[in-house]
Amino acid sequence: MAEELLKKAETDETEELLEEDDSQKGMFMTFQTGKEFFGISISYVNEIIAMQPIAAIPEVEDYVKGLINLRGKIIPVIDVRVRFKMEPCEYTDRTCIIVIDVKSTMIGLIVERLADVDTIAEDSIAPPPSLGRKEHEHNKYVYGLARTGDTVTLLLDPEKLIKQDDIMTAMEEVRKEEQS
Amino acid sequence: MKILLAEDDFASRKFMDKQLSRYGECDVMVDGEEAVDAFMMALEDGEPYDLACLDVMMPVMDGYQVLKAIRDIEAQKGIPKSKRVKVIMTTALNDERNVKMAFELGCEAYAGKPIDVEKFEKVLTKLGLI
Amino acid sequence: MAEEFNTESMLDMFLYESGQLLEKLEGIILEKQDADCFDDADINEIFRVMHTIKGSSGVLMYENITKVTHKLEDVFYYLRESHPDDVPHMELVEKVLAVSDFVTAELDKLKNGDTPDGDEKQLVEDLDEFLGRLKGEIKKQGIEMPQANRHVEPTQFYITPVAGDDSHFYRISIHYRSDTQMSNLRAYSATYALKEVAEDLLYTPDDILSNEASSDVIVAEGFHMLLQTKSSKEEVIALIDSSEAEEINFDELSKEEYGRALGEFGREEPEPAPAQPAAAKDDGNKEAKKEGPKPGDYVVKTKEAGKGKTLAKNQPKQQSIISVNVEKMDALMDLIGELVIAEAVVLQNPDLKVPGLELSNFQKASGQLSKITTELQEVIMSMRMMPLTNVFQKMKRIVFDVSRKLGKDIELEVIGENTEVDKNIIEHITDPLMHLVRNSVDHGIEEDPADRTAVGKPAKGKITLEAKNEGGKVYISVKDDGKGLNKDKLYQKALDKGLIENKPINEFSDKEIFRFITLPGFSTKEEVTEYSGRGVGMDVVVKNIQSISGRLDISSVEFEGSEMTLVIPLTLAIINGIVVQVGNSPFVIETASIKEFVRVGEDDLIHEPSGEEYIVLRGECYPFIRLNERYDLPDSINKIEEGIIVVLEHEGSQVCVLIDKLLQEQEIVVKPIPPYVRKVKGLSGCTQLGDGSIALILDIAGLLMHDGERR
């Protein structure tokens, strides 16, 4: 993870992330969606909020659920299940939103239920297998598998999760706006 | 030439002393009142200063007060304009109102800190000191 | 120390004043470029401008500027004193502009923190030569030669400080071994050594010499210093005695970080003034404080070790005009936006909706609050409003320059230059406008005047630059009476370049054909000229304008001329909107684009076989959009009698939209939809409503366009 980040450490933001990484190294926010457990490096996580009313936006990808109002800041939320092409499920009172900050883009992830904050040692992370088609689908966002107890946690790369090209266009537009 | 330097900050004082000593004998004062005293003393001894470099922010009297005192004393003693000591204010206070005020009080030059040594020298030439 | 007194610096003031004077100068010149000569008032004014810049540049010792302005001042001195006839006016205009350009370039260098090192020799020689001829002319005409212009050399000088850009900022922490004796003295020797190179030095603990106990603190917590210096890291390290030191931490800080760190070191906390003779002196003259600095304002209280100086007297600050950082204005704008939202949250709070609640006092107070927030908004808006004068001035200059270089005779008419728009918008339109103006001069106006007279137009070309403010929008148009756009040519070219669908020309409307020139990779001129058109341009213009939710309208008649109109919003941030509901979603419609609300019945609806629907209102037929179908919104009203029809107007075209109900009218703080979300046609932004929920803002233009495309 750190090495991967290092390669990308071109912007100040990622450098800041790295600094945070020192204290938060190997810490993962894990959540359950369907039967699987997922983990996101805690350095990306801004906060966890309860499910709240979402203003739908018409004509966008199905996994973009809409916009929420986070103390005056308007941020988009995506449904992780739909993003992984799984059957969507009803939102319950255990459903919550993980607000992540990827290269200054704030995005909310709707997850079925939060599991825990786990420390995952680097040597217990295995690269994901790349066999079946379904696995292949996941590989886009999963960069490693971690075994804790008898559960396997799929470690997500948030940058890929919000789709590399998405954020690229987002960044570009922001940059353009700044320039013009 | 004879130079009076009033500057309370040690670092600046050292720097200015080094610069000015190239042109002549330099007396160093650390607050405004001392500067006026030294000016008075030199005048009474008949060996007035040719140049006075005054910091603005100083204890007891600030640079503007010193400048005003010097010009008042000179006026009182009937010293003609051409014989007056040349005064250069040296300060980090660079806003226009301060500069204008200093000009009105009758300084010859106003040097913003950090001081541009090259231009400082040019001014000394223009003032006919070197 | 400077951060305590961040009023206009001497240099800023010089730049500002000179900039203003030069603008004025260009104004005069361009106004009189076509006249036969300058009148007395102009000559006086130009003389005065040169004299002022010469004087202040002399004080600041920018000698090249002084020399150039000095020469031009001389020229105008002779013109003023002798009034010679037959002055080559055009040449004189060029000379003045050359000087103005030279000085502007030097001022720009100063603004960027560079040395104004432009070589003035050639310009001075040219002016000398011109002056020589002028004097010759005066002699020839037998006018008495005035006494030479007397120049007073400045007797007072301002030495601009060395640009502080090459300063480094360091945070240095020294941890001594726990058995170190008298660590306070070691710390002192470190500060002493650093004073050699320091521009600013702060340290903590700060009582190292006066308090022996400080040595325990130093051993326990380390000795921390903040240093501003020109020296490199290596030089600084070499100065510090590292014996007995267990660890030395050395961080280079940015200027901003340094500023923040100053606070930690107690620079910003003013401490109670100890009794000091100087402090007592100033008590008598409190009333006079507002008039600006006076001698005695800068007496230093006491210099406390390791801290910056504090003044015995607080510096009074009062000015009738202050300049404000635009970022601060934007921050204020954002805050007021938040305030408007917060106000709505309070006034429309669901807690207030208890039946039978007596609220008359609350209503009164809230009315007052609304009034104040509205005024506050108006004030900040007006602070941000700027006239287009400066932009138009630039355009005048461009027309002048380009037309002369191309050898075209062009007259420029300017209308409505006092029209005000938001500062942000001005920044966005300057470049596009410049491009349009260049295009008009270069491509619009015919090269050969004979081509013009042949079609009954005057030989002299005319370009009209016009700004007006209408219905919350600003229209800025560039109109020329040139050759106009040739539709066949545009069509053929777009086709050849593969920019458009291959269909016959008559299937395109005029507007569509004109719009071809805004396609990326389109340029009507075969040859690229210096002034316009490299095939990039019009598409960039359109993009820039769209980024501030404006648009470009093109109209043209061949042989008669073209008109390019930028239509831009007056301001971007806050609009008046009506909140409506469709299904479960609130939407906002800008009040200005709503024509009316009506209820209609099924009978007023016309169903086309294609599935399109129209509404007939008072005998007129309008296109009809069901918002719930368009955006696939569940739980909404489908029966037309039950809902409300909003008639929207945009650019003369109208559309009827079916909504469920009206919620309220309020001021809407426009926020962009986060860039992560794909752009949706018909939506221009979003906003937060009083109850904290989010509403999408409908973009009528997009809605209409979308509708058109579907057909």
Planar angle of CA B87, B91, B94, nearest 5 degrees = 110
**Omega into C586 within 30° of 0, i.e. cis?**
no
At the second CATH level, the architecture of C326-385 is Orthogonal Bundle (1.10)
Per-range mean pLDDT, top range of A149-163, B39-53, C29-43, C446-460: B39-53
Give A-chain residues touching C337 at CB under 8 angstroms: none
Q: Find out whether A81 and A38 touch, Cβ atoms under 8 Å.
A: no
CATH for C167-264 is 3.30.70.1110
**HEC string for B52-111:** EEEECCEECCCHHHHHHHHHHHHHHCCCCHHHCCEEEEEECCCEHHHHHHHHHHCCCEEE
pLDDT of C208: 77
Predicted confidence band of residue C134 (pLDDT cuts 50, 70, 90): confident
What range defines the domain where residue B40 resides?
Answer: 2-126
Instruction: State whether C300 and B58 contact (CB < 8 Å).
Output: yes
pLDDT over 70 for what percent of chain A? Answer: 68
Give A-chain residues touching C630 at CB under 8 angstroms: 58
Rounded mean pLDDT, C200-215: 78
What does the alpha-carbon distance between residue A153 and residue A37 come to, in Å, rounded to a whole number?
Answer: 5
* C512 part of contact set with chain B, CB < 8 Å: no
pLDDT of C352: 83
Buried-exposed string C480-494: b where 16+ CB fall within 10 A, e elsewhere: bbbbbbebeebbebb
Q: Find out whether C223 and C203 touch, Cβ atoms under 8 Å.
A: yes
CATH for C2-140 is 1.20.120.160
* Domains within chain A, CATH numbers bracketed: 2-170 (2.40.50.180)
* C231 part of contact set with chain A, CB < 8 Å: no
ipTM: 0.86
Predicted confidence band of residue C72 (pLDDT cuts 50, 70, 90): very high
Instruction: State whether C677 and A53 contact (CB < 8 Å).
Output: no
pLDDT tens for residues A23-66? 566 788 888 877 788 888 888 898 888 888 888 888 888 888 89
pLDDT of B89: 93
- Find tokens 């419609």 and name the residue: C589
Q: Find out whether B115 and C162 touch, Cβ atoms under 8 Å.
A: yes
Which runs of consecutive H residues, i.e. helices, occur in C385-486? 389-406, 423-439, 449-454
Residue C324 has pLDDT above 90, yes or no: no
Residue of B nearest to C6 (CA): B95
Give C-chain residues touching A60 at CB under 8 angstroms: 677-678, 680
Listed by number, the residues of chain B in 11-70 with a beta carbon closer than 8 Å to a beta carbon of chain C are 11, 14, 32, 56-65, 67-68
Q: Which of A145-149, C313-317, C652-656 has the lowest mean pLDDT?
A: C313-317
Residue C290 has pLDDT above 70, yes or no: no
Characterize the bridge pairing of strands A73-79 and A105-111: parallel
Rounded mean pLDDT, C569-580: 76
Per the prediction, chain C carries an average pLDDT of: 79
Predicted confidence band of residue C308 (pLDDT cuts 50, 70, 90): low
- Find tokens 């100040």 and name the residue: A12
pLDDT of A15: 42
CATH number at residue B41: 3.40.50.2300
| Chain C interface mutation, best of B97, B100, B118, B125, highest count of C Cβ atoms under 10 Å | B97
Residue C257 has pLDDT above 70, yes or no: yes
Report the residue from B11, B97, B126 with minimal CB separation from C157: B126
Work out how many domains chain B is built from and give that number: 1
The pTM assigned to this predicted structure is 0.48
Residue A138 has pLDDT above 50, yes or no: no
Predicted confidence band of residue A80 (pLDDT cuts 50, 70, 90): confident
Task: With CA atoms as reference, report the closest residue to C293 among B26, B105, A87, B22.
Answer: B105
Give C-chain residues touching B92 at CB under 8 angstroms: 1-2, 161
Q: Which two tokens stand for residue C368?
A: 């007052």
pLDDT of A168: 47
pLDDT tens for residues B36-93? 999 999 998 989 999 999 998 888 888 999 999 999 999 888 899 889 999 999 988 8
pLDDT tens for residues C379-397? 877 777 788 888 888 888 8
Answer positive or negative: Cα dihedral of C525, C529, C532, C534. positive
Torsion (CA) C42, C44, C48, C50 in degrees, nearest 10: 60
Instruction: State whether C157 and B109 contact (CB < 8 Å).
Output: yes
Which runs of consecutive H residues, i.e. helices, occur in C156-286? 183-195, 214-221, 233-239, 255-264, 277-281
Rounded mean pLDDT, C140-146: 79
* A62 part of contact set with chain C, CB < 8 Å: no
pLDDT of C471: 65
What does the alpha-carbon distance between residue C476 and residue C209 come to, in Å, rounded to a whole number?
Answer: 69
* B77 part of contact set with chain C, CB < 8 Å: no
pLDDT of B109: 93
Instruction: State whether A180 and C338 contact (CB < 8 Å).
Output: no
Bridge partners of residue C596, in order along the sequence: C647
Higher pLDDT, B46 or C545: B46
For chain C, the residue count is 711
What does the alpha-carbon distance between residue C342 and residue C336 come to, in Å, rounded to a whole number?
Answer: 9
What does the alpha-carbon distance between residue C112 and residue C647 come to, in Å, rounded to a whole number?
Answer: 53
CATH of the domain spanning C388-569, picked from 3.30.565.10, 3.50.50.60, 3.40.50.970, 3.40.190.10: 3.30.565.10
Higher pLDDT, C312 or A180: C312
Give C-chain residues touching A76 at CB under 8 angstroms: 674, 676-677
pLDDT of C387: 83
Instruction: State whether A69 and C692 contact (CB < 8 Å).
Output: yes
pLDDT of A173: 52
* B114 part of contact set with chain C, CB < 8 Å: yes
pLDDT tens for residues C393-430? 888 888 888 888 888 888 888 888 888 888 778 878 88
CATH of the domain spanning C574-710, picked from 3.40.50.280, 3.20.20.10, 1.10.3720.10, 2.40.50.180: 2.40.50.180
- Find tokens 């040690």 and name the residue: B10
Q: Please provide the DSSP assignment of C330-348 as one string.
A: HHHHHHHHHHHHHHHHHHT
Higher pLDDT, C658 or C691: C658
Strand order in the sheet with B109-112: B25-29, B2-6, B51-55, B86-91, B109-112, C157-159
Fill in the DSSP letter of residue B121. Answer: H
Q: Find out whether C384 and C571 touch, Cβ atoms under 8 Å.
A: yes
Answer positive or negative: Cα dihedral of C607, C609, C611, C612. negative
Torsion (CA) C52, C57, C60, C65 in degrees, nearest 10: 180
- Indicate left, alpha or beta for C225 from its phi (over 0: left) and psi (-120 to 50: alpha): beta
Q: C511: helix, coil or strand?
A: helix
* C247 part of contact set with chain B, CB < 8 Å: no
pLDDT of A18: 43
Q: Which two tokens stand for residue B29?
A: 């004062």
Per the prediction, chain A carries an average pLDDT of: 73
* A15 part of contact set with chain C, CB < 8 Å: no
Give C-chain residues touching A57 at CB under 8 angstroms: 673, 677, 680, 683, 696
pLDDT of C150: 76
pLDDT of B2: 93
Instruction: State whether A60 and C680 contact (CB < 8 Å).
Output: yes
pLDDT of A2: 44
